[in-house]
Every structure is written in structure tokens, then in C-alpha cells.
Amino acid sequence: MKPRPLRRYRRPQYPTQQQVRANPKLLAENLPPSWRYKPQLAGAIVLLLAANSCVNGDSWKPTPGPATVPPPRAAIVAPLFQHGDGYGAIGCIVVSPPSFLSEEDALQVIVEELDRAGLPDWERDVDLAGVEVAQREEHNWQDNGEWKSEIRETTSTPLQVDLVNQQNHIAIEYVSAEDFLDLGGIRSGSTVQGYDMQEIAQHVSAAVDQQGDNVYFGALYDPVVNYEWTSSWETARAISIEEAKALLREQVRDFVEWLEGQGAL
């Protein structure tokens, strides 16, 4: 005689394990009549079955709720992920001009990488509550025939970050040439304007670290790939832009890895 699997079977007349988990009272309601007159036995059976349903229910799992992450008690700021020098200058004496990534091109790259990491649903241009960024200017003066210079803070402006994920309490600011001055970049008094993207990213991160609350924050920056005119201007610039996008992707991947380490994902 060879055992063969049942293809069909009758529905059991007693409560199934899944039904008991959904309604534990079914255990007491479906005890054999002879057991009901023995309270000690009936109580022990109910406790035994209830414990067994909690321990051995590998086939049953609770329906997961929304994948939200509890907000941190204070702002948790990521370090700067350095991929690309992030420095360029424009002006009359610049020989190797920079290829700046526009806000739109950069944010497209950033969102693509975040989506691959399982982080969709980003809001654009959101004010980060309670955070202001100091505006700065260079002050020059002459002391006993010697020129001196220092950076002074002037005013403060509210920080509007580029991307926010409300579900996971994550905010991202991308430092570009377009918002360099608005984020505290220093306007040059000469014909050459420098753009130190890493310094501004650190400046913004420090502001969030000191003033922010309930957020995981990361500042990304334009890698700023400078190009040489070894071929046509269009070809050289296109190559440098693709290189800058690749470097920015590396920044985003490092940021995602940092988020995982913080338990934010």
C-alpha cells in the first residue's frame, strides 16, 4: 500500500488555527462536553493551545502596517560624501571652465537612485521647519598698509530643501551653482567667481545640525567636473556632464547606505 496525497478533503468541523488566532474565545467555546466539567483541565488546554499558536505559527504573519520610520528626537545629519572636487570658477582668466549640473538634471539623478533603493514619494521644495542658513560676505580692510580679509555673517534665510520624504523623515539638499549664493556662498568682488560646493554643503549641514529636529538630513553637491577643449566645446562638455552625474550617483548611494546604518530605512 502506497501513501498518496489527498486531493480534496472536507472542511473541519472544529476551529482552525487561523480562526483561533483571530478569535481566541473559540477555544473555550469548542471544548468537548466532558472537559467543561473539569475547570483545571479546560484552563490548561486553553493556555497550551494559545501558547502553541503564538510560537509555532510560522505560516501566519500579521498584516504589515505602513512602512513608516519613527522620527529621530533631533536632527541626524549625514557626513559629506566626497565624490568629485566640487570646485569651479568662472570669469575672464578661467582656462578650464566647469560643467555645472543643473538642479533639474541633478535631482533627476538623485531621485532615480533613491527609487532604486526603495525610497519613492519625494516632495519638492519644502521648508525645513526652524532651520535658517546664514548669509555671508567677504569683508576686506587695510591695517598698517596690509590688506586683511574675513568672512562675516549678515542675515539668515529659511532653508528650503530640494527633497523631503515625509514617511521616513528624510530631507535632502543638493548644492548647485544656481542656489550657491542663496545657501551662504560668498559673492566675489572681482571678475572671477569661485564656487566651493563642498564648503556650502558643510555650511548647510551645520545649520541643520544646530537647528533641525526630527529629520535625517543629507547634503549632496555638484561634483563640478572641469573640461579641457581637446575637441569641440559641445563634446567636451557632454563628457564632463556624464562624469559629474556618475559621481553624484556615488554620493547618493553612500547616503542610502548611511541611512540604512541609522535605521532610517
Please give the pLDDT value at position 7: 42
**Could you read off the pLDDT of 35-62 as tens digits, one per residue?**
554 555 555 555 555 555 444 444 434 3
d(CA 33, CA 12): 18
Residue 116 to residues 9, 96, 120, 164, 175: CA-CA distances in angstroms?
A: 45, 34, 9, 17, 22
| Residues of the chain scoring pLDDT < 50 | 5-11, 18, 37, 53-66
**Cβ contacts of 124 within 8 Å, gap of 6 or more:** 107, 162, 163
Single out the residue of 95, 100, 96 nearest to residue 179, CA to CA.
100
**Cβ contacts of 265 within 8 Å, gap of 6 or more:** 69, 117, 118, 119, 168, 256, 259
User: Kind and range of the H or E element at 236?
Assistant: helix 233-262
Please give the pLDDT value at position 42: 54
User: Chain-centre distance of CA 159, in angstroms?
Assistant: 17
d(CA 162, CA 248): 15
Q: Are 221 and 247 in contact (CB under 8 A)?
A: no
Please give the pLDDT value at position 185: 86
- With 0-12 / 13-18 / 19 or more C-beta atoms within 10 angstroms meaning exposed / middle / buried, residue 136 is middle
How many other CB atoms are found less than 10 A from the CB of residue 185?
21
Please give the pLDDT value at position 60: 35
Please give the pLDDT value at position 234: 78
